[in-house]
Chains A and B, each alone.
Chain A
Amino acid sequence: MPLYGDLGNKLVQHAKRTQNLIHLPPYQAELVRAVAREVRDLDRDLKSILEPFQGSFDPTADQATACTLLVNHLSMRRNKRCLLAYHRTRADKLEELVWSGADVLDLAGQQTAGGANGVMGANDGGASSLSPQEEDYVRQYGDLLAAYKGQWTDIDLTGSLEPPRDLFIDVRVLKDAGEIQTEYGAINLTRNSQFYVRQGDVERLISQGYLQKLG
C-alpha cells in the first residue's frame, strides 16, 4: 500500500511536467479521486481518534495522540495543496489556449486521437484529455473573455503582442482560406500564393495558421 502523500506527490509531478509541454496531457481522474479519497479517510481517522475525548482533548496530556492528529491534519492540507496546484496549472494552460484563440475542445480531442500521450493511459478512456469539469471551465472562461474583450472592440485584445513595425507585411498562404475583404478590395487566398497585405487585416488568419508571415 502506498504511503499517505505519495499520490499527491505524483499529481504535482504531473503538473510540473505539464508546465513544459505544448499540449495538455490527459486529466488524471484516477489520481485525483484517490487523493481526495485519502483526505476523506484521514478526516475519518481524525474523527474516530477524537471521539472518545468528547471534545475535551488536552494535547499536553496525551502528546502521542496530539502528534498523530497533527500529522494527519498536515497530510490533509498537503493533499489539498497538491490538488489545487494540479488543477490550477491545467487551468492556466487552458486559459492560455483560450487567449490564443485555439478551439480548445476540438484540439483536446485530436491530441488523444493522435496517441500523443503514450504511457499516461490512466484516464477513463474518453476521447478528450480534458475532464468534463475542465471542458465546462473552458467554455465559461471563453464567455468571460469574450465579454471582457467586447468592451474594447477597437483594440482587439487577443491581437499580437509584438510591437507593430510595418503596416503592410508579406504573407504566404499555407491553407486555402477563401476570399477576404480588405479596404483595398477582395483578395483570394489560395494555397502557396503570396501577398503584400495590411497586417491588421490578416492577423486572425496568421494566428489560426492559414497564413505565414514572411521576412
Chain B
Amino acid sequence: MDIDDILREVDPVFHAVPQEKRDLQDLTRAWVAERCAPELLHWPADGLFERVNDNIKRQIEKVEEMTGDMDPKTNFALIVLQTELERFKYIVRSYLRARIAKIDRHTLHYLSTDELRSRLSEMELAYATRHQALLHNHYLSSFLSSFPPQMQNLNDAGGNSTMIDTPDLESAVFIRLLIDTVVEGRGVDADGEMNGKVDDIVILRWSDAKPLVDAGSAELV
C-alpha cells in the first residue's frame, strides 16, 4: 500500500488520474457503448458533456491565440493541438448522431414512459417531442385527417400488435469484463452460465448483458 492508496481511502475525491483524462475515458466509453447497444443508453448525468464542451471551447481559443504568432516552434504544437481537437469533436459528433439516429427510429417508444424519457438529455427531449409533432402533423395533413376519428391515433395497441416500434433488446453484443464475475446468458435451447475473468470478451444478448454493463462489471466493445 503506498501513499496514494491511503489518500484514496481517506478522501474518495482523490484520484491519481487528472479530470481531463478521465473525461476522455468516460467519453470514449460512452461513445463505444452507445454505438454498440441496440437501445438508447442514459445520457451521462455528471456533467461530462458540459466539461467536454468547455474543454473544446478552451482549446479552440488556445489554437486561435497560437495562430497569431507565426513562430515555427509553436507551429508543431499547434498541429498536435488541432489534431486532438478534431478527434475530440469527432467523438462527440459521432456520439450525438448515434443517439439521434436511435431516437428518430423509435421516437414514440422513448417518449412513452418516464423511465425512458429520463434517458434523454433536455435538448434531445425537446428535439424528439418536436420531431414527433412534426411527423404527426405531416401524416394528418397528408391523409390521416380524412380518416374516421377513431382511427386517427398513432399509438393503437389492439389486435396483438402495437403501433409503437421498439428496439430489439435481444440482439447480440460483445462485452469485455472489467471484474471477475459470473456471466449468465439465455440461449435458444438452454441457458448458459460461465465464470468470467477480467478482460474476457463475451458475446451474448443485450438483455443479458445490460445488468452487467449497468453495474459497471463490463463494458461494450
Q: A residues within 8 Å of B by Cβ?
A: 32-33, 35-36, 39-40, 43, 74, 76-77, 80, 83-84, 87-88, 91, 95, 131, 133-134, 136-137, 140-141, 144, 147-148, 151-152, 154-157, 159, 161, 163-164, 167, 183, 198-200
Contact = CB atoms under 8 A, between A and B. Distances in A.
Interface in B84-131: 86-87, 89-90, 92-94, 96-97, 100, 104, 123, 126-127, 130-131
B82 interface: yes
Given A36-B147, A148-B100, A183-B64, 6 more contacts: A152-B96, A157-B93, A161-B97, A163-B87, A163-B90, A164-B87
A156 B93 contact: yes
Contacts of B156: 77
B96 A157 contact: yes
Contact of B90 (A136, A148, A152, A164): A164
Interface residues of B, number: 41
Given A83-B143, A84-B139, A154-B89, A148 B148 contact: no
Interface stretch (B37-45, B53-61, B191-199): B53-61
A43 B150 CA distance: 10
B53 A154 contact: yes
Interface of B: 53, 56-57, 60, 64, 67, 79, 82-83, 86-87, 89-90, 92-94, 96-97, 100, 104, 123, 126-127, 130-131, 134-135, 137-139, 141-144, 146-148, 151, 154, 156, 159
A164 B135 CA distance: 34
